[in-house]
Chains A and B, each alone.
Chain A
Amino acid sequence: MELLLEPLGYDFMVRALVTTALAAVVCAVLSCWLVLIGWSLMGDAVSHAVLPGVVLAYIVGAPFALGALVFALVAVTLIGVVRNTSRVKEDAAIGIVFSSLFALGLVLISVTPSQTDLNHIIFGNLLGVSIPDLIQVLVLGVVAFAILILKRRDLTLYAFDPIHAHAIGLSPKRLGALLLGLLALTSVVALQTVGVVLVVAMLIIPGATAYLLTDRFSRMLVIAPVISAVCSLAGIYISYYLDTASGAMVVLTQGVVFAVVYLFSPRQGLIGTRLAKARRRKAAALAV
């Protein structure tokens, strides 16, 4: 108990925990759709491509989220254009666009005189979250979370069967755009926590882990954020006591939990399914 309470004596730790928990939950909810649609790479792309937007917003003093949204849109449009108007396939188009935009962001940072440390954007600055940062993350996070939850059924329909969505008079295009917009918002939220490079982990791992644990989407939407939040808080505590990079520790914890689930999930796990089979066989043998 002492171990859990001690870090809470520091304001910066409290802010770190609150920000991380929020980012973890929002990212995890979004990740449920991303892994099912097969948009993991898109999550990677958008989370990197928002960087120049964030830097430009910083330069002109606009909200980060605005810059991020604009560049998420630019990235998605460019990817679509390159894919549709040349023989380059989608994965290559994504790779070209996001790495170029990411590099543009790095260049912009290098020529911008500012107190913002490059490393903080790239790897996150969990322990240096200021009050305004916290408020921004809270507002964006809550907005993204609320939209995701309110529109969850439409988004699931879009992920599962966009043609049916169209046939009943909904617009799959608009739903796809909504999901991409939320991806951009969420990237900004998570950027603060784990940094651009590791956002993608928060956007994929929780959903993938939950997918191995259940056959119900509604349950995925509960399992993923719970796992993600617990892992993130655990990661911060571990980093506090072991004195390691906090953002990286959060992601590493999520990765370890995924590995355990991958091996031992009773439904899908590599070892878990075998154990279940052996148990059934034993029961059958006893019954004879």
Chain B
Amino acid sequence: MISPAILVEHVTVHYGEVLALDAASVALEPARICGLVGMNGSGKSTLFKVIMGMIKPDAGTVRINGQSPSRARKQGGIGYVPQSEDVDWQFPLSVRDVVMMGRYGHQGFTRRASKADRAAVDEALDRVELGPYAGRQIGQLSGGQKKRAFVARGIAQGATTMLLDEPFAGVDKRSEATITRLLRELASDGCTILVSTHDLHALPQLCDEAILLMHKVLMHGPPEVVLQPENLAMAFGLDVLNSELPEGNVPDRNVPAPGITAPDLTAPAAERGNH
């Protein structure tokens, strides 16, 4: 049996009187991509914070590759891609500056970049196909490019566990496909990836497994099963069936989404990178 890359055992978290996580348990094997599905306020961000060790749970334990979160952080193993609304896009930093921040854990007191650091940053930028945009101020990227810049930060960091908060919010179909392909590549290189998302359509193409969260882990299994309408109804209430899944069924991962096969000409010009 492989030891889990992310192990959350019976974790309970309260904010004052409010219960955010109720004895939640998750075991995620290495090199898997897992989608974390749940309503706003279902405890998704709390779970992320617990895994990163930003919140000490009232009860329960967390292990990253068998280590405590603080050990794992010190070793640079945990990469984090923030939600778009949590980032100050006006901040005067270039794409390269942001990716370089992934290297800080490997650097000395003043974080002066070595040749190896620069090479790692260049490689990460190439990998997410942002090489030509390295000098741009981060706010001047399209929605999908912004996400890829932060994924590149995790790659430059050498993260073996990546947490992505709503990576598909504000991203068009074409970039969604690009990000999906990128994350699948990272997973096949051995990176364990946990993705919180509202975008149920993207899940089956992206994820090996999915978790349905509503303070507790309601269900953890293959996305095709977790995303069955009757299961989703447990986490979202019944109205989700009409609002989120208009076709009434979930696309299969083996059937490519339209964005992957044909270039989506309706994508805004910014998304194709010519502004």
| Chain B residue nearest to A219 in the complex (CB) | B92
Given the complex, which residues of A lie within 8 Å of B109, measured CB to CB? 150
B79: which A residues are within 8 A, CB to CB? 167
The 8 A CB mask of A158-177 against B (1 = contact, 0 = none) is 01110111111110000000
Tell me the interface secondary structure of chain B in the complex: mixed
A163 touches B54 (CB 8 A): yes
B-side contacts of A214, CB under 8 Å = 92
User: Does A215 touch B at the CB level, under 8 Å?
Assistant: yes
- Contact check, B87 vs A167: say whether CB atoms are below 8 A apart: no
Q: How far is the CB of B159 from chain A (nearest CB, A)?
A: 9
User: Per DSSP, are chain A's interface residues mostly helix, strand or loop, or mixed?
Assistant: helix
Residues in B neighbouring A217, C-beta threshold 8 A: 91-93, 97
Distance between B209 CB and nearest chain A CB, rounded to angstroms: 23
B65 at the interface (CB under 8 A from A): no
CB 8 Å contact bits of A136-171 with B (1 = contact, 0 = none): 000000000000001101101101110111111110
Contact of A220 among B92, B94, B157 (CB under 8 A): B92
With A153-B110, A217-B93 known to touch, is A166 a contact of B52 (CB < 8 Å)? Answer: yes
Q: Does A216 count as interface, using CB distance less than 8 angstroms?
A: yes
A211 at the interface (CB under 8 A from B): yes
Chain A contacts with B in 34-49, Cβ cutoff 8 A:
36
Chain A nearest CB from B79 CB (Å) reads 7
Do B52 and A169 touch across chains, with their CB atoms under 8 A apart? no
Query: At the interface, yes or no: B74 with Cβ under 8 Å from chain A?
Result: yes
Best-surrounded residue of B53, B93, B137 (most CB of chain A within 10 A): B93
CB contact under 8 A between A163 and B92, given known A153-B104, A169-B74, A170-B104? no
When C-beta atoms are compared, the residue in chain B nearest to A211 turns out to be B92
B70 near A169 with CB under 8 A, answer yes
How far does the alpha carbon of A219 sit from the alpha carbon of B87 in the complex, in Å?
Answer: 21
- Considering the chains assembled together, what is the distance between the CA atoms of A156 and B32 in angstroms? 33
B101 touches A167 (CB 8 A): no
Q: Which of A169-220 contact B (CB under 8 A)?
A: 169-170, 211, 214-217, 219-220
Bound CA span A215–B94, Å: 8
Tell me if B168 counts as interface (CB < 8 A to partner A). no
B contact residues around A161 at 8 Å (CB): 82, 87, 101
Measured in the bound complex, the distance between the Cα atoms of B92 and A159 in whole Å is 11
CB under 8 Å from chain B, chain A span 210-263? 211, 214-217, 219-220
Contacting residues, chain B, for A169 (C-beta < 8 A): 70, 73-76, 105
* Contact yes or no, B110 A215, CB < 8 A: no
Q: Which chain B positions have C-beta within 8 A of A156?
A: 93
Q: By CB atoms of chain A within 10 A, which of B75, B97, B102, B137 has the most?
A: B97
Query: B88 in the interface, Cβ–Cβ < 8 Å?
Result: yes
Per the bound structure, the CA–CA distance linking A154 and B73 in Å amounts to: 16
Q: How many angstroms from the CA of A219 to the CA of B76 in the assembled complex? A: 29
Is B207 an interface residue when CB atoms closer than 8 A count as contact? no
A160's contact among B53, B91, B157, by CB below 8 Å, is which? B91
Given contacts A153-B111, A165-B104, A214-B92, 15 further A-B contacts (CB under 8 A): A36-B88, A153-B110, A157-B101, A167-B78, A168-B78, A168-B102, A168-B104, A169-B70, A169-B73, A211-B92, A215-B92, A216-B93, A216-B97, A216-B137, A219-B92
Q: Which 4 A-B pairs have the closest CB atoms?
A: A153-B111, A168-B105, A169-B74, A215-B137
Question: Could you pull out 10 A-B pairs where Cβ atoms are within 8 angstroms?
Answer: A36-B88, A36-B91, A153-B104, A161-B101, A165-B104, A166-B73, A167-B52, A170-B104, A214-B92, A217-B92
